[in-house]
Amino acid sequence: MPRLDFPYVLHGGDYNPEQWPESVWDQDMELMKKAGVNIATLPVFGWGNIQKDEETWDFSWLDKVIEKLHANSIRVCLATATAATPPWVDQKYPDILRTDQDGIKRRHGSRHTFCPCSENFRRLSTNLTRAMADRYGHHPAVLLWHVSNEYGNPCYCDACSAEFRTWLQHRYGSLDEVNHRWNMAFWGQTYTDWSQIEAPQDKAQRNFQGLLIDYDRFQSDAILNCCKAEIEVLREITPDIPITTNMMGTFKALDYHKWAKEMDIISWDSYPARNAEPADIAFRHSLMRGLKEGEPWMLMEQTPSQQNWQAFNSLKRPGIMRLWSYQAMAHGADAIMYFQWRRSPGAQEMFHGAVVEHAAREDARVFQEVATLGKELASLGTQTVGTKVESKVALLFDWENWWAVEYSSGPSIMAKYCDIFLDYFRALFSLGITVDVVSPEADLSGYSAVIAPMLKMVKPGFAANITRFVEAGGYFLTTTFSGIVDETDRAFENGYPGPLADLLGIWVEETDALSPEEQNTVQLGGTSYPCGKLCDRIQLEGAEAIATYGEDFYAGEPALTRKGRAFYHGTWMEAEGLQAALESFLTEAGVSSTIGQSIEGVEAVKRGNLLFLLNHGKVAQLVDINGYKAVDLLTKAPISSSLELQPFGVAILQITP
Ligand code: GLA
Ligand code: ZN
């Protein structure tokens, strides 16, 4: 697979020139140079502007734009342009239009509206991909391929039902096996013929989690097949050009761990909400970085200022766009890109933030901030690119487990996977610890500690792997509502935590669900910390209690346990208790914070010999750099013992040992 060797930090974004007359394109080139833009993504939604009907193609405008970019030394992130079907396509081939979960078939309109099982879509989209690759694949401006755009949107049509049945036949072999895996004997729902299995529309069968999880798996695979069909064409015509598609972080419908295997480089679109927590942004960057063994990735889209699709589209305050760009870089991004270059003159996204506003003025705040960042990035040259983030702690994230947790009816509607995950991530973030977020199937041997919050679904092989990891000296921690079901959501016959019972030395007898108003406490090291949502009643079978419950009929019973290096949190603690419990777990595991201290609002991440320091807070902070000798690549100033970070300030320290 080709690699994207970054020549420097890429800086640019989505460019949709077809909305303006040619005269504007020259102004675009001028402004791009002033903004330090070195890459443009196009033509993401260009299908209808390129192909007027099945026989009529018009590449003339795109030829000119690509030549102009090339003449200005701006590289092209070339989209296959298949993300929005033009009116003629949907009119001629209505089978392309997807059916939503509510059972209603779409009419023409919007984008990403295709059914992944439509043969016509696969044929037309790969034809377009082939035409794009034939025409531009060998153009020197083209740096990488951008397949479609933000894939997603499952379909529930009859064609999908039929392909689902075939997918099931491959996976399970017999209908008996399907009936067993999904426990169809419940409510007497046993299937007697394959044809009875349908896509789980809202008004169809949605009471069997095994079916729902398999349908999600199938749709993720079916949509991926559309992407793979385009990739196959690209690999044939341009085997040396790297390929990506832009992902969406914690996007539930697609199992990105599977998707990542088809990509040469990971890219994703980060749109933090107003007042987003830095830990939340860091979590998503870490999740995306972990898709491909920590290789550098691309921030394909961020808004330079505001969005248009929130209820209140606040402006990014001065300095925030720069800070969040460097945060992405700290977490492994080697490309900082925006949606969008220029505000559309009309339609849905005309008020979405852009580098160039409607007035197209260089003295606009946003343009100035982008241009200043562009200069800074250019001054970094090759110094930051290609390095990997250092982390001794892995958090395990699994999409299929996410589906399993949230399709579950009981024990609590508050059992939300990303919520508990973020609580653990945030606690580690507050302790100043850099974390990788990886699949349970990843190679864990390089980590000192592995944490799997709410791993309800334990797949074959995991228990053996993690046991080997612990036997080799690693520290493992998992939590309440873990080890409950296998990969088709059947309960483990030995109860909970299923195949992890021996390793953890416990039997979880019952789980109490607390309402939002209720709380219990965890008595840990002489302090009482609040906990809630879920409280397991744990029987020790080889483990010892390290904390007990303070209240209710199970007061005094184990709340947190350990058996050697295998730890279990039987309840969902609030921040303070979680931090206290994690701190002692990590100290024992030999993991310390990146700069030996945690400072309110300051994030420190190491990438190779670079130390990124980011002040997310509104007050200046003095940071002791832990005895390192360093040069700040942004100011070129040598730093010996400490430095002051301004509010929203950033330093990139090149450390000399
Ligand atoms: C997504 C899409 C873009 C644009 C932005 C707006 O990320 O990929 O085309 O619509 O959202 O925020
Ligand atoms: Zn369909």
* Segment 508-550, tens digit of pLDDT: 999 999 999 999 999 999 999 999 999 999 999 999 999 999 9
Q: Name the residue among 265, 183, 215 with its Cα closest to residue 10.
A: 265
The closest-lying atom of ligand 1 relative to the alpha carbon of residue 45 is 9
106 Cα to the center of ligand 2, angstroms: 11
- The catalytically annotated residue of 295, 301, 487, 557 is 301
Q: Which ligand has the minimum distance to the alpha carbon of residue 84?
A: 1
Q: How far apart are CA 377 and CA 381, in angstroms?
A: 7
Q: Tell me what the mean pLDDT of segment 267-292 comes to.
A: 96
Question: Residue 1's pLDDT band (boundaries 50, 70, 90)?
Answer: confident
Would you say residue 657 has pLDDT above 80?
no
* pLDDT at residue 628, as a whole number: 83
* pLDDT at residue 273, as a whole number: 87
Q: How far apart are CA 74 and CA 123, in angstroms?
A: 32
218 Cα to the center of ligand 1, angstroms: 25
Whether 313 and 451 have beta carbons less than 8 Å apart is answered as no
* Close Cβ partners of 63 (under 8 Å, ≥ 6 residues apart): 135
339 Cα to the center of ligand 1, angstroms: 7
Q: Which amino acid is at 98?
A: R
Q: What is the SS3 assignment for 563?
A: strand
Q: What is the SS3 assignment for 611?
A: strand
Q: Which ligand has the minimum distance to the alpha carbon of residue 164?
A: 2
The closest-lying atom of ligand 1 relative to the alpha carbon of residue 301 is 7
557 is catalytic: no
Crossing angle (nearest 10°) for helices 209-237 and 158-172? 90
Q: Is the dihedral angle over the CA atoms 563, 568, 574, 579 positive or is it negative?
A: positive
* Close Cβ partners of 407 (under 8 Å, ≥ 6 residues apart): 209, 212, 213, 489
Q: How far apart are CA 254 and CA 638, in angstroms?
A: 45
Q: How far apart are CA 247 and CA 254, in angstroms?
A: 9
Q: Which residues line ligand 1 (CB under 6 A)?
A: 149-150, 269, 271, 301, 307, 339, 349, 352
Structure tokens at 554: 């199970």
Structure tokens at 290: 């972990």
Q: Tell me what the mean pLDDT of segment 70-87 comes to.
A: 98
* Average pLDDT for the chain: 97
Question: Residue 607's pLDDT band (boundaries 50, 70, 90)?
Answer: very high
Number of alpha helices (DSSP H) and beta strands (DSSP E) in the chain: 17, 27
Question: Residue 63's pLDDT band (boundaries 50, 70, 90)?
Answer: very high
301 is catalytic: yes
Q: Whose CA is nearest to atom 3 of ligand 1?
A: 339
Would you say residue 327 has pLDDT above 90?
yes
308 Cα to the center of ligand 1, angstroms: 10
